[in-house]
């Protein structure tokens, strides 16, 4: 009598394992939602207060109420000594000049550190990283004294040069790791085809490094745009060169000892919303630039 074969048992995942997996996903999503709410709640409240009538400044209604545009008119009004429009131009100029100079110097420095072999290379990289982590508050007094002695206090160069000193280490550090992950074969193939090293860098490496360059430029510009500590002292109270961070901090109301909270919130929304839109529009390039080279 032939033995009958038994059916192969099918592995069934226990219900408890599926439940743990679902619970893990729910916990992950709940954590992400909590982080998003924690980060965006101040921004949301700033926008709500910016559109709220000044008579209801301290209203705790969590959604927009008593909506008005008067706060934005007040923010741009110069009759009270607030020069917000001028400050927007100053921040744009300072940010663009800082970004352009930091990128021009940082690209060549980072490429040299990534491609060239020389003694003390890691010491240079360590020094650059240390400069990026150096506390800015420790430089306030010497920079103030220096710019006072050379009569630069209250000028654009007194605001741009310190920003470059902090933006350049960040630029070099990010781009060095980016260039280091790019294969040498690309340049070698270009040179075999008749390109010089400079042409290979300009025609091959730079186009391929566009995501990293774009990401670094955005980070440098945002860092310069948000800087306050040094700018508040180096501007020396001059509205003609003060950036938006200093101008908003110096907003005055229609009466003595009155803080124009709604106008400050309106100015803060004008300053913040374009940056948020910029990051949202180019988030894919930013993420691709920051993660470039992470996986070979």
Per-residue confidence (pLDDT) for residue 296, from 0 to 100: 44
The chain-wide mean pLDDT, for the chain, equals: 83
Tell me the pLDDT tens digit for each residue of 78-100: 887 888 999 999 999 999 999 99
More confident residue, 256 or 89: 89
Instruction: Compute CA distances 87 → 84, 121, 240, 242, whole Å.
Output: 5, 41, 8, 6
More confident residue, 157 or 81: 157
Is residue 214 within 8 Å of 289, Cβ to Cβ? yes
Tell me the pLDDT tens digit for each residue of 113-122: 888 787 877 8
pLDDT class of 292 with cuts at 50, 70, 90: low
Identify the three-state secondary structure at position 63.
Answer: coil
Count of beta carbons in the 10 Å neighbourhood of residue 222: 15
> What pTM value is reported for the model?
0.82
More confident residue, 246 or 273: 246
Classify domain 81-250 at the CATH class level.
mainly alpha
Long-range contacts: 130-139, Cβ < 8 Å, 24+? 131/165, 131/169, 132/166, 132/169, 132/170, 132/173, 136/162, 136/166, 136/229, 136/230, 137/229, 139/230
Whether the per-residue pLDDT at 291 is higher than 80: the answer is no
Tokens matching residue 223: 């860092």
Whether the per-residue pLDDT at 154 is higher than 80: the answer is yes
Give the C-alpha separation, 171 to 100, whole Å.
11
Q: Where are the domains of the chain?
A: 21-70, 81-250
More confident residue, 197 or 267: 267
Tell me the pLDDT tens digit for each residue of 200-235: 888 888 888 887 888 889 889 988 999 998 999 899
Whether the per-residue pLDDT at 195 is higher than 90: the answer is no
């Amino acid at each position: 009598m032939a033995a009958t074969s038994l059916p192969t048992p099918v592995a069934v995942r226990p219900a408890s394992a599926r439940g743990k997996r679902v619970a893990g996903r729910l916990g992950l999503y709940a954590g992400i939602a909590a982080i998003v709410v924690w980060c965006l709640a101040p921004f949301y409240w700033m926008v709500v207060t910016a559109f709220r009538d000044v008579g209801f400044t301290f209203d705790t209604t969590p959604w927009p109420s008593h909506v008005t545009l008067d706060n934005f008119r007040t923010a741009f009004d110069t009759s009270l000594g607030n020069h917000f429009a001028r400050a927007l131009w100053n921040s744009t100029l300072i940010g663009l000049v800082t970004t352009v100079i930091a990128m021009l110097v940082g690209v060549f420095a980072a490429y040299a550190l990534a491609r060239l072999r020389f003694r003390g290379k890691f010491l240079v990289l360590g020094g650059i990283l240390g400069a990026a982590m150096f506390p800015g508050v420790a430089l306030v007094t010497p920079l103030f004294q220096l710019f006072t002695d050379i009569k630069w206090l209250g000028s654009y160069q007194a605001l741009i040069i310190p920003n470059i000193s902090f933006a350049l280490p960040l630029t070099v550090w990010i781009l060095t790791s980016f260039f280091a992950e790019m294969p040498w074969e690309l340049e070698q193939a270009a040179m075999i085809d008749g390109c010089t090293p400079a042409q290979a860098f300009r025609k091959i490496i730079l186009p391929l490094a566009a995501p990293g360059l774009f990401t670094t430029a955005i980070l440098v510009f945002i860092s310069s745009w948000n800087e306050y500590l040094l700018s508040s002292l180096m501007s020396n109270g001059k509205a003609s060169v003060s950036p938006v961070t200093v101008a908003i901090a110096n907003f005055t109301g229609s009466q003595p000892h009155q803080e124009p909270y709604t106008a400050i919130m309106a100015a803060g929304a004008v300053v913040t919303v374009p940056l948020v839109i910029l990051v949202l529009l180019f988030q894919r390039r930013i993420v691709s630039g920051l993660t470039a080279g992470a996986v070979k």
